[in-house]
Amino acid sequence: MNDKGENIYLTAKEFDLLYFLFCHKGQVFTKDQLYASIWSYNNVPEGSNLTSFM
């Protein structure tokens, strides 16, 4: 819920990213690290998947 008491709906990947960042509060990650942790990619793919979630 947001501060107005309304539900917020997330896609599965949006939730995964939010949960990962929540579990690692205060840590800084590179794009490579986020792709490896959230999308299980060893190399950053072309495109802007991560950028669209941020």
**What pLDDT is stored for residue 46 in this prediction?**
60
Helix (H, G, I), strand (E, B) or coil at 32: helix
Torsion angle of the four alpha carbons 25, 27, 32, 33, in this order, in degrees rounded to the nearest 10: -70
Q: Which amino acid, residue 49?
A: N
Q: Dump pLDDT digits (tens) for 1-54.
A: 778 889 999 999 889 999 999 999 999 998 888 888 888 876 566 656 677 766
Q: What is the pLDDT of residue 18?
A: 93
Indicate whether this model's pTM tops 0.85: no
pLDDT at 40 (0 to 100): 81
